[in-house]
Amino acid sequence: MSPSMEWANLFYALTGASIAYLFVNAIYRLYFHPLAKFPGPKIAALTGWYEAYHDMYRRGMFIWEIQEMHEKYGPIMRINPHELHIRDADFYDELYAPASKKRDKYKDWVMLSGTPGASFSTVSHSHHRLRRNALNPFFSKQAVQRMEPLITEKIERLSSRLIDAARTQRVVRLDAALMALTMDIICHYSYGESYNYLALDNFKEEWKEALISALENGIFLRNFPWALPLLRSIPHSILKVLQPNAASLAEWAMLVKEKVDILIQEDSAGNKSNGSIFQVMLDSDLPPEEKSAARLIDEGQSVVGAGSETTANTLTIIMFYVLEDKNLLRKLREELASISLDESPLLPKLEKLPFLTAVITEGLRLNIGVMSRSPRIAYEPIKYQDWVIPPGTPVSESIYFVHWDPTLFPEPSKFRPERWIKAQETGFRLEKYMICFSRGSRSCLGINLAYAELYLTLAKIIPRFEMDLFETTVEDVEPERDFFVPVPKLDSKGVRIKVTGVN
């Protein structure tokens, strides 16, 4: 037999084997897989490319496909070959359960963060508890209360920039300014130094764009988790050409690495640094492998990424609706005028103001926090209605479908702070359905810091400045795409304002 015939036969054999494998795999997934009995479109059960098409080609649109699928198939369904999705606000706490019930994360899913060594990306329930316990004191209520002077100082820097904008009548991109604020706060607290984004002419608005771009890249990593080591190995010079946004994040990661390397050297020599998150981890009871440079870098990046964008976006949404509704602005100013805003500490008094609290809660509801679902894997069978979900199955709910549920929140797209005050008056526990910080053992580490930033920023900015929206509409704040966080229309120029006066 000639060599060409041998190659041809090998090709035919491989082709035939591939077709046979695909056929057998398709039959298994459709009829013999443990999830075969659950409702859902056959194409989703057959291949992960269905989800990849809507998330990668259509850019973050799979969540709307899930919405349509639920309307057709009911509250529980199979959305890809391996995962179930539930739409039931009252079942959320069972799925995202407290520490007494073990819940792992889905290994492929956590790759979207690009920081595999961070607590957020930790798959195992027990491993996550180990890592989280070391960080909890750093973000406790008491620790955050001690941060109030730092937060206030950063807000004053933002105020100075707004005073300049009033003088020059320059248009301010408020979403970028608020992102600079939250970045300077979380970096100063976590790293022990600020990068002073508030001092930059454009508030480092490219950082916001870079972070959103990185989160969209996370969709690719979610579908192709094996690609992360390859992406991390790309030389920086090439990355700057291929993906400038990713390159700017890589530059920031290099700065974090330099800081961690120096800190580890000083710690080994017995020289303790300031109370950064890295020093807290090094001083903790974590085993040595949990204190590696790679681990500290991933944790540091994750904390700053999570502690900047979500809070800034909530502030942006609140400011948009407050500036759009003069009656709402008046009511908020009247309540804030009832206390002295120059007192310190101020935060405990602000937390007792009912209308301000309702405004913040409504902003958190509309912002959602995390748009993407976050699958959990239970060790035991989970019963939902007449269905029994097998152990080891990734199951998720989406915060969006709870926060924007019209049966819980009539006219869910409307900014209605009074809905929270009415719920309190009637005794209805509406706050049960506020899940933007998630629930259970994996709830948001930075919840106390987020609330402190929201209360203090709004209390310091709203009474002091007269502002008008500039060429900005509701489309600039409403969620249109799921890039892990909610993203408005792609051609949005952000939330822009003019500062017309200083009080």
Q: Which residues are annotated as part of the binding site for heme? A: 444
Among 21, 29, 39, 26, which residue's Cα sits nearest to residue 82? 29
Residue corresponding to tokens 């942006």: 316
Report pLDDT for 215. 83
Residue 98 class from Cβ within 10 Å (0-12 exposed, 13-18 middle, 19+ buried)? exposed
**pLDDT tens for residues 356-391?**
999 999 999 999 999 999 999 999 999 999 999 999
Among 365, 364, 104, which residue's Cα sits nearest to residue 95? 104
**In angstroms, rounded to a whole number, what is the distance separating the alpha carbons of residues 155 and 445?**
22
Domain boundaries, the chain: 82-502
Long-range pairs, 188-193, Cβ under 8 A, ≥24? 188/150, 188/154, 189/147, 189/150, 189/449, 190/276, 190/277, 190/300, 190/303, 190/304, 190/307, 191/256, 191/259, 191/276, 191/277, 191/278, 191/300, 191/304, 192/273, 192/274, 192/275, 192/276, 192/279
Where does 82-502 sit in CATH, by number?
Answer: 1.10.630.10
Contact between 489 and 480 (Cβ < 8 Å): yes
Residue corresponding to tokens 């979403």: 175
Among 384, 428, 385, which residue's Cα sits nearest to residue 409? 428
Q: Angle 470-473-478 (CA atoms, 0-180°, nearest 5)?
A: 135
**pLDDT tens for residues 114-128?**
788 999 999 999 999
Contact between 42 and 27 (Cβ < 8 Å): no
Report pLDDT for 168. 95
Contacts of 256 (CB under 8 A, 6+ apart): 191, 297, 300, 301
State both tokens at 229: 């080591």
**In angstroms, rounded to a whole number, what is the distance separating the alpha carbons of residues 224 and 226?**
6
DSSP string, 447-498: HHHHHHHHHHHHHHHTTTEEEEE-S--GGGTS--EEESEEE--TT----EEE
**In angstroms, rounded to a whole number, what is the distance separating the alpha carbons of residues 391 and 380?**
5
DSSP reduced 3-state for 384: strand
Q: Which residues of the chain have pLDDT under 70?
A: 1-12, 273-274
Residue 196 is classified by DSSP as: -
Residue 54 is classified by DSSP as: I
Q: Which residues are annotated as part of the binding site? A: 444
Report pLDDT for 273. 67
Report pLDDT for 88. 98
